[in-house]
Amino acid sequence: MKINNIPFSITDWDTIERTEHKGEAGMAYWKTQNFGNIRVRMVEYTAGYLADHWCVKGHILLCLQGELDTELEDGRTFTLKPGTNYQVADNSEPHRSSTKTGAKLFIVD
């Protein structure tokens, strides 16, 4: 990742408008900031959330609260707990998220 032309700034996530994204089950709530071609998000999944698609976008994702289950299309699964993260490249390994208990994430993509 190359970061260019972004002056120093602070994001107060409490002031960012929240958008709703329905999953196959449950809801995702995003607060999003865009800096050129870099998207930075604070995402909250409700308990019982299941993504409605296999994602091929690359991410760096940090779990802040709750537990997030990530399934790769090849069948492997991983569980993130607070303080753990994953990273995956664009068009590398299709993945989808779910959570039984809910989760809060910080994502850069």
pTM, rounded to two decimals: 0.92
DSSP string, the chain: ----S-------GGGSPEEEEE-SBSEEEEEEEEETTEEEEEEEE-TTEE-SS-B-S-EEEEEEEE-EEEEETTS-EEEE-TT-EEEE-TTTS-EEEEESS-EEEEEE-
Please determine, for residue 25, whether its predicted confidence score (pLDDT) is greater than 70: yes
62-77 average pLDDT score:
97
Are 28 and 61 in contact, with CB atoms under 8 Å apart? no
Q: Determine if residue 102 is left, alpha or beta; phi over 0 gives left, psi from -120 to 50 gives alpha, anything else beta.
A: left
Please report, as a single letter, which amino acid is at residue 54.
W
Half-sphere exposure of 48 (CA within 13 A, CB side): 5
Q: Please tell me the CATH superfamily of domain 18-108, with its number.
A: Jelly Rolls (2.60.120.10)
Please determine, for residue 81, whether its predicted confidence score (pLDDT) is greater than 90: yes
Q: In the structure, what pLDDT confidence band is assigned to residue 3 with cuts at 50, 70 and 90?
A: confident
- Domain assignments of the chain as residue spans, ordered by start: 18-108
Quickly count: other Cβ atoms within 10 Å of residue 88's Cβ: 19
